[in-house]
A and B are shown apart, each in its own frame.
Chain A
């Protein structure tokens, strides 16, 4: 896909402070419009997955309810959010804050910029941890199964402000033949599934599972892979021999069986699947980093660093890792695509998340399993979303690979 980035490097304007290697690479990567679109898509899905409790919910933001002592305003949606939801918001806000601060501080002069950025990041993270722990202690989410729509219909409630998509992921329309397998309409933008639930709401909620599993499992896999791969690549010898055997062994474990086993022991949870995908998925990174390290180890500057008597860990982390890591990060982008695919396959086979939590693979299975009747309008959205997110990760990965290619980075 060289054509995606086969554009001349534009020299950075001399007025701006010199950009770092990564900034350059990312800027170069984002140049083609196609990559821009798909990067934006990933960002959008990420954002949706972070904020979906506010976007799609059957509970209104605010509503006036008639109680024994007159009308009372309630905020069911916020009361219903779990601590984990709030923590996700805080984490998202911190990350977005750091990114924005990073961009805003670009104009600051080089030496001060670094400490400023670190300071801002520290403050934001500290505030996030503080806020998060306070929330974890103070917030108590209320179990709320009230059907607010019925309440409004019966005149017991009024002035409801609903979320943009006023359906929860598990919320069924009152059971009737007309409510299920509904085609897209004004009421349900993507129709309803065979239990009478809003497909769009489920789609959005499912993005949470996909992105969560993708990012967390790859983070685990990446850190494990980096540690083992770096050890193998740097020390070589017996470390390398044993490490490679370990890699081969882990590759031989049937993931599918492992997940079934763990689900049977510990019960179903997203976390479990994340951990298993992480624990079995690190081998690729380890192999990659090992090869990189074996290559880099021969290079002159490492020999030079060793000649100056620099301690080992410093050579590894300051000199070798940053150089070996770049290609690994590229493969992490493909790894994300792979993790999302595996998660959806597991859900398709029926060993994914706990129902009624939606996931794209599970929705596909419900719609397209040959043992049931095929409803294309139910199978299309999750498949398309899955396809697009995998495509996006792959395209961004390709573009990133081209961008960090030393031959093309001028």
Chain B
């Protein structure tokens, strides 16, 4: 039987109030996550991926930012229409989030224990002693030694990797169904990055949750994700199963991104780059937003690219793309992107070779 998506985002549009006009940041994003699935959203900085992630928990600072349209359906409810109080129950309790900067994401004047306990008390009715035990347990779960002592320490007393672990422990203390990880490893050392990611995937299986992984690193994606969404200038341009995507990237941007990943086999070659710059959100091109940098644009297609914005269409069962140049794009139709978990989990190491 087809599984129902745990969370589905439909036609999400978010704008920020600039100094003189509304600047769109996310422009019609749709996708869905199924249970026990890792969805990675990949894109350059400023493409709107973090905003999308934050909007799920309605954490966008409201005076400048505003959700213009769209639906975020979680467990059958539209999160955007939920009253603030119910929304708070979702935050942390059902959907948790960890952030890019573990250094500043913890309150410097509260002990780690206090911060974890705060999350626990918020969502679970527990006697104090049991809550402390739970907090310690969740710290142990993320691989922190001597958790009882750590509970009394302040964030500045532990290292960056540890902080991210604490953040994860805090997020998982209430057993959420979805964990949104917004570039969780960007600010960390490479060795620690791998540890954290591994921890994440272990915990994901252990806790039976879905993960929404926001990243700009395709290497990370290959290792961890089941499904990948590529974002460019506020839109998802390609959405596919991770194997499908790596095997058959259709969007020129995805291809560009993949070409940028350094490979050991090509030692002497200079890194490929995508020519041109990300367009400013203030004045996005009317047509395809990738058109100025596009290598696929042939002369005859160019007029279409200049005047029409390609929408995301499902061109096969496991692949959605938004480019006129993709084969079969013209006949394809829009459906809500989303892939139920197909099979038993794949060991992460299995795909190492493919990317390296």
Contacts and interface: CB of A to CB of B under 8 A. Distances in A.
B336 to A, nearest CB: 38
A65 B71 CA distance: 92
A8 interface: yes
Nearest to B21: A8
Interface in B1-57: 18-20
A7 interface: yes
A107 interface: no
A6 interface: yes
Interface size on B, as a range, is: under 10
A142 B284 CA distance: 75
A7 B18 CA distance: 10
A6 B18 CA distance: 11
A7 B19 CA distance: 6
Contacts of B19: 6-8
B21 to A, nearest CB: 10
A6 B19 CA distance: 8
Contacts, number: 5
A12 B18 CA distance: 20
Interface string A29-62: 0000000000000000000000000000000000
Nearest to A6: B19
A8 B18 CA distance: 9
B142 to A, nearest CB: 34
Query: Could you tell me the dominant secondary structure of chain A's interface residues?
Result: loop
A124 to B, nearest CB: 40
A6 B64 CA distance: 13
A8 B20 CA distance: 7
A367 to B, nearest CB: 46
A69 to B, nearest CB: 75
A84 B20 CA distance: 52
A161 B20 CA distance: 55
B102 to A, nearest CB: 24
A93 to B, nearest CB: 41
A249 to B, nearest CB: 34
Contacts of B18: 8
Interface string A1-29: 00000111000000000000000000000
Nearest to A8: B19
A264 B220 CA distance: 79
Contacts of A7: 19
Contacts of A8: 18-20
Interface in B94-128: none
Contacts of B20: 8
B205 to A, nearest CB: 44
A6 B63 CA distance: 14
A33 to B, nearest CB: 17
Nearest to A9: B19
Contacts of A6: 19
A386 to B, nearest CB: 36
A8 B282 CA distance: 13
Nearest to B18: A8
Nearest to A7: B19
A65 B18 CA distance: 70
A8 B19 CA distance: 6
A282 B20 CA distance: 42
B250 to A, nearest CB: 38
A351 to B, nearest CB: 47
A135 to B, nearest CB: 52
Nearest to B20: A8
A282 B197 CA distance: 55
A254 B18 CA distance: 50
Interface string A159-201: 0000000000000000000000000000000000000000000
B338 to A, nearest CB: 40
B180 to A, nearest CB: 28
B141 to A, nearest CB: 40
A7 B20 CA distance: 8
Interface string A47-89: 0000000000000000000000000000000000000000000
A172 B43 CA distance: 81
B19 to A, nearest CB: 4
A285 B19 CA distance: 34
Interface in A94-136: none
A5 to B, nearest CB: 11
A409 to B, nearest CB: 14
B16 to A, nearest CB: 14
Interface string A253-297: 000000000000000000000000000000000000000000000
B255 to A, nearest CB: 35
A56 to B, nearest CB: 46
A400 B18 CA distance: 22
A322 to B, nearest CB: 28
Nearest to B19: A8
A257 B267 CA distance: 79
Interface in A306-333: none
A192 B251 CA distance: 84
Interface in A217-246: none
A8 B23 CA distance: 14
B203 to A, nearest CB: 38
A100 B270 CA distance: 56
A75 B91 CA distance: 84
A108 B53 CA distance: 53
A297 B199 CA distance: 41
A6 B20 CA distance: 10
Interface of A: 6-8
5 contacts: A6-B19, A7-B19, A8-B18, A8-B19, A8-B20
By Cβ-Cβ distance, the 3 closest A-B pairs, closest first, are A8-B19, A8-B20, A7-B19
